[in-house]
Every structure is written in structure tokens, then in C-alpha cells.
Amino acid sequence: MDLIKIFRILVVINFLAFMSHLVFDYNSLIASSTDLSTAIEGSYVSVIDSWSFIVMIIFVIAAIIAAPLLFFFVKWSRELLVGLLVVFSFISLIDGSRGYYALSSEFEVLATAIETLTHGAILAIAYLTPLKDKFN
């Protein structure tokens, strides 16, 4: 299998893992004999929650279009992905410093891990292999 196919498969897997966070209610998959509804309601208040609706829509649209742009080797798609990941990392640092806690199902952890691993592979292939010339 050539590098272009591997890269595109990774982009598709990453996109599906990202979209699963928007489509599935992972909290309903938590198996517990205790009622966790009150804990889930107060568990995660992120910096993102304080953003205006327009900024949130722009951010979500940028995150959604990053994968198709990478899939078709658009020139600035790598930089868009890096920018989105920097913003995500910065938000995680701020949220962590505020002492938030999150209840999540194992499926949500799995989807996040798949998304994180494929982001790393996508960036490594896009910047460190001969495939980087396709983005010019």
C-alpha cells in the first residue's frame, strides 16, 4: 500500500472519530449501578462554554473541514490542523488548571485515543515524508 492511501485512510479514520463525538451520546454508554446524572451535569464546564455562538460555529466548521482539505492535499490544510490542535491543547491546559473533572465512557476514551493517535500520524506523514511535496 502506498503512502498516499495510508495517509487518506488515516484522515478518514480521524474524521470518523471526531464526528463520533458530535453524533453519539457517550454519557449514555456509561455502565454504572449508581445514578450519575447529577455528576455528569456538573462535571465538565469548559472554557469553550464561555465562547460566543459565532466563534463556536467558526471553530467547529474549521474542525470539520480540516479533514477533507487534508484528504485532497490543499496547501494550507496542514497549518489549519496544527492551529486547531494548538487551540485544543491550550483549552485543555486552561481547563486542567481550573480543576475540572470529566465522566466519560470507555468508548469516548477509545474515540479520543484513536483521534489523537491518527492526528500524530497525519502530521508526521504530512510534514516528514515525501508526501509533503503534494501540499505545495
Give pTM, 2 decimals: 0.85
Cell 492511501: give the residue. 5
**Is 8 domain-assigned?**
yes
**Is 82 domain-assigned?**
yes
Confidence tier at 43 by pLDDT (50, 70, 90): low
**Is 46 domain-assigned?**
yes
pLDDT of the residue at 45:
65
Task: Give CA–CA dist 23/136, Å, rounded.
Answer: 34
**Is 136 domain-assigned?**
no
Task: Give CA–CA dist 59/119, Å, rounded.
Answer: 17
**Is 86 domain-assigned?**
yes
Per-residue pLDDT tens over the stretch 28-41: 777 777 777 776 66
**Is 124 domain-assigned?**
yes
**Is 107 domain-assigned?**
yes
**Is 135 domain-assigned?**
no
Q: How many structural domains does the chain have?
A: 1
Structural contact between residues 86 and 131, judged by C-beta atoms closer than 8 angstroms: no
Task: Give CA–CA dist 36/6, Å, rounded.
Answer: 41
Q: Would the pLDDT of 8 be above 70?
A: yes
Per-residue pLDDT tens over the stretch 82-126: 999 999 898 888 877 766 666 778 898 899 999 999 999 999 999
Residues of the domain holding 121: 3-25+34-130
CA proximity to 67, closest of 11, 10, 114, 134: 11
